[in-house]
Structure 1
Amino acid sequence: MSAKKAKTRVNPPAETLHAIKWKVFGVMMIAWFMSMLDMSIMNTALPELQHDFETNLPNASWVVNVYNIVFAVLLVATGRLADQFGRKKMFIGGLLVFTVGSGLCAAAWEIGWLIGFRAVQAIGAGMIAPLGFAMTALVFPPQQRGKGLAMIAVVALVANGLGPVIGGGLIEIASWHWIFIVNLPLGALGVVLAWRWWPETYDLSATRRIDWVGMALLGLAVSMFTYGLVEANVRGWNDPQILFFIQLSVVVGIGFVFWQNRAKDPMVPPALLRNRQFLSANLAMVILGAGAVGGLFLLAQVFVNLWGFSQLEAGLCLLPIGVCGGLVWPLVGRAADNAPAYRLAIPALSSLAIGLIWFSFMPSTYEGVGDYLIVLPGLVFIGMGIGVGFPTLNVGAMNAAMGPNLGVASGIINTSRQLGSALGVALLITVFTTTAGWHLSWKRDPIHDNSFVYAVPDPVAFGAVRADIAEFSGAAKRKETAPVGYDRWLRREAAGVARDGFGWAFRIAALLLLAMIPVARKLTLTPAEARANAARMAQQASAGAAAAPPAGAGVGAPGVAAGVPAIPAGAGAVAAGAGNGGVEGRIAELESALRGLRAELSERQERPR
């Protein structure tokens, strides 16, 4: 029965997919934009949720945390299931769940229900997100694939950049409910268009057997690790429960790798686990996510809590990051289809590090537009680094993994970014807390001396400073007061301590990024080399298909050797594309792909240098 079902899985020819690439990509970007937007847009709504639901900040913050955790847990599993059972089915199902979850969130009547409905919404987002890179690599011709993969990262950057602005604007003119209501028409439109335009595609080399053990192990590892990071700064890093979850997640993660190397039908193909460029790109993505997302989180805290801006004003101040990221996309799009990834990844990591270091010397208080102009160059460097870094690592990873397993590879790179984001926020908050404590201890003598002059007991003075630091870091609601005299001096001292804590957090993030440059240097595979390797593997797959018994023809090509890029789903619809068209059809498609590759290489040789 399973063999009969396997034979019914047929992918359309590569030419058909290439002809409708903009329709497929446009629909994908509707869902991709919404899922990325909802990761940042809720940060602006937390004060409103606290007020409306009469709850505290830790409870309200779980509206954000639960989305990030559930989203991260599902990415690899849903990517693999999409490869096995159909990417169109997974996309439409995910978009339906996301849209329904958005409607339920808008109707939530209690904070607990809102958190639960956000988990439903995250399930839909986790089903959608792995298909972004997979479908782009599938429908774009080989010579345009890098441009498409780079465009996805720019859309994500724009969505994250616009999240605070859109969220702040909707809250000011309406209410937090509209943050979810706006998803309803977009979600419905995406479902209708996907149903009409999308063809069904599969990984024909994958069986229909589900690796339940692998999914359980990976889900447990990711959820426990992410939960430990989220709660570490609330409970403390020495909390036994936090240490238990993080340590157990490492053990379970090792068990997952052990199982994948021995399972009969592993969720993650062993070739990906042994692919050095793919692993290097994912490691670099973890650190880029930590530095970039953690840095963006602290930037928002500086503008809102330290400088006293509204959420909308802070969002507008952060717009240069998204604008600069969008402006560098044409450069990334051209280079991504011609140059090895390291040539862009290294400048991107350096630019982001320079921007974070520049911003780390920001003024402790906002006195006028001149203070913003001081930090603006740092925001420009950050925007260029993010705008180049994320697309480049996406392309580097997907080039290395180019083949039938597009969904699971896309899920892994997305999971790396999510884990990096959680790690970055947790780590940088810890650096802020620790270094701010050091700077407060170094100011003990001047605070004591000035308090003695004003006859203020030390416990009162230091209690006031700690309360101000809590406001400047976002741990307590900021009071809009204008203190004078001694109180004004004390508040400015507290602002200086908070500024120094933020500054060192930015510098540590920059050091992490610079430390990844040797790893990024390993991304040496050019797109042309990836396509040539894929064509060679396609030829081998065709030869294997000719010798294979008919009963196995519908299942697909055999696995890929370690460290060698797999068969592409675009140029090589041979083994992963046409599937069941017979040996003659496979050979004809292979010859067509090789002709296109030779024409492209000839054009590149004739192109003036």
Structure 2
Amino acid sequence: MNHQNYKFLPVLLLGNLLCMMDTSIMTIILPQLQSAFNESLSNLSWALNIYTIIFAVLIIPFGRLAERIGRNKFVFGSLIIFGIGSLLSGLAPNLNWMLAARAIQSIGAAGIIPTSMVIGLENSNQVNRNKVVAALAGIQGLAVALGPTTGGIVTQFWGWRWVFLINLPLVLLDLVLFLWVFPLKNESTSKTSIDWLGAGLSMTILFCLSLALIQGNKWGWQSSVIISLLISSELLLIVFLVWEKSQKNPMIDLSLFKSRNFNGAGLALILCNYFLGGMAVLIPTFLTKIQGESELKAALLITPYSLAVMISVIMTSLAVKKINNQLLISCGLLTIALSYYLFAHLNVAANYRQLIIADIVLGTGYGLVAATANILAVADFHGSKLTTSQSVANVLRQIGMVLAIAIFTAILTSNVQSAKQKTATYAVQQTQSLNFSTSQQAKLKFTIRKKLLNNQTQFKQKFKFSKIAINQNKEQRLINQIYYRQLQILSVRDQLAINKLPPKIKNQLKVQVVRNVKMTTIQKEEKFQKKLGKLVRRTKVELKNQLSTAFLNVYAVMFWIALSSLLIIPLFKFNYQPKR
């Protein structure tokens, strides 16, 4: 790459790095946000969904809008919007604020990513063009892979807010460099039509489908709201397809889907990002909330998948012209299925070796599928259709992530509810086996159900009972009863009426009775607290085991989905003949 064309690349790379990293960096801070906002994982998943949905549907129309405004000005303005969204995200006091801020961030990111690639191609010559494309695509993949690790390090030392606030000086630096490298005046523009209705329809479809999948357990799968959302998404999909077919410049060129390779590659991209997203969304929460690890350690434990993705993508890209593509995708899907089998049977009691192995296996399988599918997605196209196919492939990748967030959190929510119910049943049984009194059992059962079944925080494990002390009035009545009996005994012994007994003797007797009752009460409370402590310890162990099972069972279900993904192989045409 010559010196003249080299200086613009770092400016574009930095913008792409920031935008793509924020698509995955949220996964590691979800546990922190659960505590900060006191929200469930299903509610917090919208902080991921809102970014991914808006990003997915605006990539194509924003690429065309940039042509009308001027690409340099458009990217410069988008950087400012992304910076504002980052600032607001870092200042968020609650989930609603966070969702609005993330939406602003995503609008900025959607304006930067596709247009940066075009700017890069315009500012490079024919010799360097492939290097520019490789650099921008590589930094995007690297950013997504390193997002959780970076987020874990920043959160550990500075807190979750700095995951977003750290963007501000980098955005400011990129803006200054942008003004130095790129001219904002006298840009060439073109009046390309933009399919805003298509973008709006696609966004509404994804929103309705995601909302139905995430809230299905909470609102009821047979409720009118959920059924309406699912029907709406299907009807809107039909409307979208009819509309796109009638447009000269549609958001998605439906003629792309006449290619068997594009169809197969599109499904492969959705699937591999779906399974990658399923790990990235749940495992950090599993490690921090269930296993009690720090955000930093959780980030380091999932870093091997990031490295495996990078290495696998590079190696597959080099091998794709030498090895049968059908074999590469088949091996990739089988490898992903194997990783899910390992996740479903994790034994983290001893060490995290199996988790690291599962990370590496998943990253390797993802690289095999994604790298091959990216090449096959554009294999049958040239000219403008080549560019369009790349944009649509990018949208499909984001759809895979949206579906992962929605479906995995929906299944986990159901599993967690079941886990809490089983733990509550276990704890109630323990109150009977530990021989608590009837009144104590009633109080404990109420407390158990309240703590386990009524709290909003999904994975809260602080399972403590307030001290159940003997009622003061009851204690006083007991003292009076014993004191009166003792007075009667003295009265008979000394043949004196109770009111004739010496005050000194009566006072001594009262003090002795109070002391004895208090000591008996303390002994009963100590005995009760020992049994209560045993109940708490057993319940906490049972809760941890049930919640661990709730997480891992999601992967057990998804293992069969991953295995059945091999059914997409016949969709490909696979015309390519490997070199001998």
| TM-score, normalisation: structure 2 | 0.72
Matched residues in 1 for 2:390 and 2:77: separation? Answer: 18
Q: Aligned partners of 1:234, 1:505: CA distance in 2, in Å?
A: 18
Query: Secondary structure of 1:455's match?
Result: coil
Tell me how far 1:87 sits from its aligned partner.
4.9
Within 1, Cα distance between the matches of 2:262 and 2:38? 47
Is 2:567 the partner of 1:518?
A: yes
* Separation (CA, whole Å) in 2 of partners of 1:399 and 1:198: 33
- Do the aligned partners of residues 449 and 221 (structure 1) sit closer, same or farther apart at CA in structure 2, a change above 3 Å counting? closer
Say yes or no: does 1:318 pair with 2:291.
no
**Alignment equivalent of 1:240, drawn from 212, 219, 224:** 224
Q: Structure 1 residues 444 and 166, CA, compared in 2 at 3 Å: closer, same or farther?
A: closer
For residue 309 of structure 1, give the secondary structure of its aligned residue in structure 2: coil
Given the alignment, which residue of 375, 398, 420 partners 1:418? 398
Alpha carbons 1:228, 1:246 under 8 Å: kept: yes
Asked if the contact 1:148/1:333 (under 8 Å) is kept, the reply is: no
Q: CA deviation at 1:372?
A: 0.9
- Relative to 1, partners in 2 of residues 1:427 and 1:399: Cα closer, same or farther, differing over 3 Å? same
Q: Deviations over 1:354-385 (max 9, x none)?
A: 1121121123xx54xx3212332212211212
Quick check: 319-328 or 156-165, which moved more? 156-165
Compute the displacement of 1:116 (Å): 2.5
1: CA distance, partners of 2:403 / 2:44? 20
Q: Shift in Å at residue 334 of structure 1?
A: 0.9
Q: Which amino acid aligns with 2:225?
A: Q
Amino acid at match of 2:246: R
1:578-593 counterparts in 2 under 5 A? none
Equivalent residue number for residue 506 of structure 1 = 555
Q: Which amino acid aligns with 1:404?
A: S
**Superposition pairs of residues 53-92 of structure 1, within 5 angstroms:** 62-82=46-66, 87-92=71-76
Q: Shift of residue 423 of structure 1?
A: 1.6
What per-residue deviation string (whole Å, max 9, x for no partner) do you get for residues 270-322 of structure 1?
42232332222222222222221012212112211221112222111111111
The match for 1:497 among 537, 543, 546 is 546
Aligned to 2:293: 309
Structure 2 vs 1, CA of residues 443 and 98 (structure 1 numbering), >3 Å: closer, same or farther?
closer
Question: Distance in 2 between the 1:433 and 1:140 partners?
Answer: 49
**1:527-564 alpha-carbon deviations (Å, 9 max, x no partner):** x89xxxxxxxxxxxxxxxxxxxxxxxxxxxxxxxxxxx
1:7-26 map, 5 Å: 26=10
CA contact (8 A) 1:79 1:408 kept: no
Output one character per residue of 1:246-276: Cα deviation in whole Å (capped at 9) or x when no partner.
3212211211111222224333234223233
Equivalent position SS for 1:328: helix
Find 1:475's aligned residue among 450, 455, 458.
458
The alpha-carbon distance between structure 1 residues 240 and 126, as it changes in their structure 2 partners (threshold 3 A), is farther
Given the alignment of the two structures, is residue 389 of structure 1 paired with residue 369 of structure 2, yes or no? yes
Using the TM superposition, give the Cα deviation of residue 124 of structure 1 relative to its aligned residue in structure 2, in angstroms.
0.7
What is the rounded CA distance, in whole Å, between the counterparts of 1:340 and 1:64 in structure 2?
36
- Where does 1:320-359 land on structure 2 (aligned, <5 Å)? 320-336=304-320, 341-359=325-343
Residue in 2 that maps onto 1:550: none
Deviations 1:29-83 (A, max 9, x none): 3222211221232344456557767888777665444323322332332244456
Map 1:409-558 to 2 at 5 A. Answer: 409-434=389-414, 450-455=430-435, 464=448, 475-479=458-462, 485-520=534-569, 522-525=571-574
Q: CA RMSD in A?
A: 4.4
**1:18–1:140 Cα contact (<8 Å) kept:** no
User: Identity across aligned pairs (percent)?
Assistant: 25
1:134 and 1:406 in contact (8 A); partners too: no
2: CA distance, partners of 1:525 / 1:359 = 32
Gaps of 5+ in 1: 1-16, 530-603
Question: Which blocks of at least 5 consecutive residues in structure 2 are unaligned?
Answer: 466-531
For residues 354 and 84 of structure 1, the distance between their equivalents in structure 2, rounded to whole angstroms, comes to 48
Whether the 8 Å contact between 1:164 and 1:312 is mirrored in structure 2 is no
Do the aligned residues in 1 keep the contact of 2:41 with 2:409 (CA within 8 Å)? Answer: no
Q: Which amino acid aligns with 2:553?
A: W
The superposition leaves residues 220-241 of structure 1 with CA deviations (integer Å, 9 ceiling, x where unpaired) of 3233333434444554434433
1:162 aligns with 2:211: no
Q: Distance in 2 between matches of 1:316 and 1:185?
A: 25
On the 8 A contact 1:304/1:311 being kept in 2, the answer is yes
If you compute each CA radius of gyration, which structure gives the higher value, 1 or 2?
Answer: 2
Closer, same or farther: CA 474–355 of 1 in aligned 2, 3 Å: farther
Change (3 A) 1:176 1:452: closer
Aligned equivalent of 1:122:
106
Q: 1:398-444, CA deviations, whole angstroms, 9 ceiling, x for partnerless residues?
A: 33445324554333223222222222232223333445666788899
Contact map agreement 1:73 1:223 (CA 8 A) in 2: no
* Deviation of 1:323 (Å): 1.9
CA shift for structure 1 position 352: 1.7
CA distance in structure 2 between the partners assigned to 1:513 and 1:470 by the alignment = 34
- Greater RCO (Cα-Cα under 8 Å, separation 6 or more): 1
Contact 1:260 1:267 in 2 (8 A): yes
Tell me the amino acid that sits aligned with residue 115 of structure 1. L
Instruction: Give 2:501's aligned residue.
Output: none
User: Which of residues 250, 255, 261 is equivalent to 1:277?
Assistant: 261
How do 1:169-184 residues align onto structure 2 when only pairs under 5 Å count? 169-184=153-168
Structure 1 residues 468 and 447: alpha-carbon distance in aligned structure 2, compared to 1, 3 A threshold? closer
Q: 1:404 aligns with which of 381, 384, 392?
A: 384
Quick check: 1:150–1:336 contact (8 Å CA) kept in 2?
no
Structure 2 counterpart of 1:545: none
**Within 5 Å, which residues of 2 pair with 1:253-272?**
253-272=237-256
* Deviation by residue 1:488-510 (Cα, 9 ceiling, x = unmatched): 33333333322332222112223
Contact 1:282 1:397 in 2 (8 A): yes
Rate the CA distance shift 1:175–1:427 in 2: closer, same or farther, 3 A: closer
